[in-house]
Structure 1
Amino acid sequence: MLSKVLRHGLTGVLLSSLIANAQARELDTAFGAVEVPDSPERVVALYEGALDAAVAAGVTPIGAIATRGGNDVAAYMSEHIDTGELEMVGVARETNIEAVLRLQPDLILAAPQLPEEQYRLLSRIAPTVVPDSNGLSRDGWKEESRVYGQALGKEADIDDALEQIEQRAAEINERLKSANVGGTAYLARWMPAGPMVMSSKLFSTGILASTGLEVNDDGLVNEGSAHSDILSLENLSLIDGDWLFLATLNEEGQQALDAAKQSSAFTRLNVVEQNHVVPVNGQVWSSASGPLAAQVILNDIEEALLP
């Protein structure tokens, strides 16, 4: 009798395993093949680009990390989901593993830069997807979004979102040409200690370039780095192009920028005299990535250059 019970129990376990395997899919990631559930219901996003892609695909994660310079996710996300329902489980490059464990996720979407040690810990909690990235590139975010879309079983939704970005960027490009608006552009993030020039190989500068502007960092950014060292006010002339997009992450950065605007080093810049300085949200322009953030950037470009 006992052996019969054991036999039935083992059969049940095997059947459950077969069903689970049938519902799982295998995904190529930075750390090899990972089996992900067919329809994940409890998703944790440990990267701003992962959160953006998930929401763009119609999936609301249960946990996320705070944006740079903030205690919550970037404000633009509140236009798409109730951010108050998201459990904060860390900040960029510092995940609270215990907080992730408490959420009992069935899928974790992580950043391309995730250290292997953290990956090993997270993958013991749930299948962890880390896109295989080769460093900074203007279009790398698109492939990352596609990987997250595949992990969520939402490939078509991500493809549609990316196509909308490309079509809108091309449309703005044509409108700028017709309006004879263009030239060189720089993106700088203003910190309390001063401005940093952002790399021309970033997500945001790539979106900016897709509208036809010539985006530069003029060799001020070291290879593989996202931004330059902090510039002195006297060296602001190095980024005196046709357009200057100025990002701040928080109130401290904004206060420092407001003070800098009172200095002659700032006011004598040609781009300032031409009224071609465009203030933008650093949480989007210098921290976020993904289809939804791309739409915000395109909105900013359109409103500033095609009023």
Structure 2
Amino acid sequence: MVTVVQALSLGLLVGALTLACGTTGNRPDASTPTSGCERIKHDGGETEICRQPQTIVAIGPNVLELLLALDIQPVGYADYYALPFTDFDQPQSQIPYLGERLTGQVTKVGTWNSPSLEAILKLKPDLIVGSTLANQGQYSLLSQAAPTLLFSYGAKKGWQTQLRLLAKVLNRSEKAEQVIATHNQLVAEARKKLQPTVQKYPQVLLLASEQLEQGLAVENSGSRCGGLLENLGFKLLAPKNIGTEGPGRNNISLELLPKLKSDWILFLAWNTDFSDAGPDLEKQQISAVRQQWQENEIAQSLPASKSNQVYFHSAYVCRALPGPIGTELLLEQFQADLLPSVSDPTP
């Protein structure tokens, strides 16, 4: 939520910012010709951009992913989590999964659903990119700081379309097509490599939780990871007429798991407590749930547990990185988990 002080600060400071073609967000200055400007339609509205942006703020890991895929380095970033750092002075070790692709210091500008307008204004950006899910209510204020684009956030919202639009604004259209082609090739190669696994272990149960006692989500093809697994040829098991139906998932109790007969289980875990976060974020995210699973009688009674075919990974990659980099990371995880479990096919 934007405070009154932030709003007043924005009103005082935004006039001092020299933005593209004299625009203030979506509204051009009446004294400035806009013949070289272009109005860009995006999921959050329509924005006028008059020159190729150079100083970009990324609100959300899904946005950072798209920028990095285009080889664009932002000056400011807001993560999904309230990461315990005053600033991202060492982003390679501070920003989950994407940090190693950043080449320099990045200013922390709050979190994706609560960005700091004050921090953003100090950077004097000429483009802000965020998400409709988190930032639609802040769109008007953000647009006064700089031209702002908002993208829908979800597994089936078409990151390829978003990438192409962003690439058009940033004059990286050729790069975008290369990224999409590489993505398609990686998926096709993984599908071919995993075909013996699909034939031997076709049925997968996709679970997600932070604490087992709080319940479980059984994700289906409408979720990010579920859709990718089905694209690779696996069949996702989903509860019928039990639990609470939701977009991409069903919420069920642990006691119902034995009714879902799976060949293997992929468990997406997370931990919102970063107070003890060390250098191994993946371990920090999954360690509590994995221990709870190992100590639970019902969980250990499942055939997948008995055959050591329960694989734990951070939910961050599936849920926060719906684009090409997240896909690459997931394909690496799936192949590392599953390829060693398949014996050499009989000639």
Q: Normalising by structure 2, report the TM-score.
A: 0.73
| Residue ranges of structure 2 left out of the alignment (5+ in a row) | 1-21, 23-28, 86-93, 272-283, 341-347
Aligned residue in 2 for 1:258: 291
Question: How big is the shift at 1:189?
Answer: 2.2
Determine helix, strand or coil for the equivalent of 1:45.
strand
Q: For residues 26-61 of structure 1, what are the alpha-carbon distances to aligned partners after superposition, in whole Å with 9 as ceiling and x for unaligned?
A: 321124331225421111111211100100100011
Q: Could you say which structure has the greater relative contact order, defined with CA pairs below 8 angstroms and 6 or more residues apart? A: 1
Instruction: Say whether 1:106 aligns with 2:126.
Output: yes
Amino acid aligned to 1:183: P
Match of 1:10 in 2: none
Q: Is this contact kept in 2: 1:107–1:126, CA < 8 A?
A: yes
- Indicate how the Cα distance of structure 1 residues 38 and 184 shifts in structure 2: closer, same or farther if over 3 A, else same: farther
C-alpha change, 1:71 and 1:237, in structure 2 (3 Å) is farther
Could you tell me which residue of structure 2 aligns to residue 207 of structure 1?
Answer: 228
Match of 1:153 among 155, 171, 181: 171
Q: State the partner residue of 2:266.
A: 245
Residue of structure 2 in register with 1:75 after alignment: 96
Aligned CA distance change for structure 1 residues 158 and 306 (closer, same or farther; 3 Å): same
Q: Structure 2 vs 1, CA of residues 141 and 274 (structure 1 numbering), >3 Å: closer, same or farther?
A: farther
Q: Do the aligned partners of residues 76 and 232 (structure 1) sit closer, same or farther apart at CA in structure 2, a change above 3 Å counting?
A: same
Contact 2:180 / 2:324 at 8 angstroms: preserved in 1?
yes
Q: CA deviation at 1:114?
A: 4.2
Is 1:129 equivalent to 2:149 in the alignment? yes
Match of 1:97 among 117, 132, 152: 117
Q: Is the aligned partner of 1:26 residue 2:39?
A: yes
1:120 shift after superposition:
0.6
Q: C-alpha separation between the residues in 2 aligned to 1:290 and 1:166? A: 12
Distance (Å, rounded) in 1 between the aligned partners of 2:329 and 2:314: 10
The AA in structure 2 aligned to 1:165 is: H
**Aligned residues between the structures:** 287
Give the letter for the 1:94 counterpart. S
Question: What residue in structure 2 maps to residue 222 of structure 1?
Answer: 245
Shift of 1:69: 7.0
Change (3 A) 1:21 1:114: farther
Cα pair distance change 1:122/1:221, threshold 3 Å: farther
Task: Describe the shift of the 1:206–1:151 C-alpha distance in structure 2 as closer, same or farther (beyond 3 A).
Answer: farther
Q: Does 1:46 find its partner at 2:64?
A: no
Tell me which amino acid in the other structure corresponds to 2:216. Answer: P
Which residue matches 2:257? 236
Amino acid aligned to 1:189: A
1:157: how far off? Answer: 1.5
Question: Hey, what's the Cα distance between the residues in 2 that align with 1:267 and 1:156?
Answer: 50
Within 5 Å, give how 1:267-286 maps onto structure 2.
267-286=300-319
The aligned residue for residue 162 of structure 2 is 144
> Which residue type is aligned with residue 301 of structure 2?
R
Question: In structure 1, the residue corresponding to 2:98 is in which secondary structure?
Answer: helix
Report the AA paired with residue 188 of structure 1. L
Shift of 1:21: 4.7
SS of corresponding position for 1:76: coil
Partner of residue 182 from structure 2, selected from 155, 164, 169: 164
| Residues 200-245 of structure 1: CA deviation (Å, up to 9, x unaligned) | 213332222222112344465634x35444x433223355422211
Matched AA of 2:124: Q
| Gap regions ≥5 residues in structure 1 | 1-12
Deviation for aligned residue 1:65: 1.4
For residues 216 and 97 of structure 1, do their structure 2 counterparts lie closer, same or farther at Cα, with a shift above 3 Å needed? farther
AA in 1 matched with 2:245: N
CA deviations 1:155-201 (Å, max 9, x no partner) are 22122112211111112212222453441223322203343233421
- In 2, the alpha carbon distance for the partners of 1:252 and 1:164 equals 29
RMSD, aligned CA: 2.8
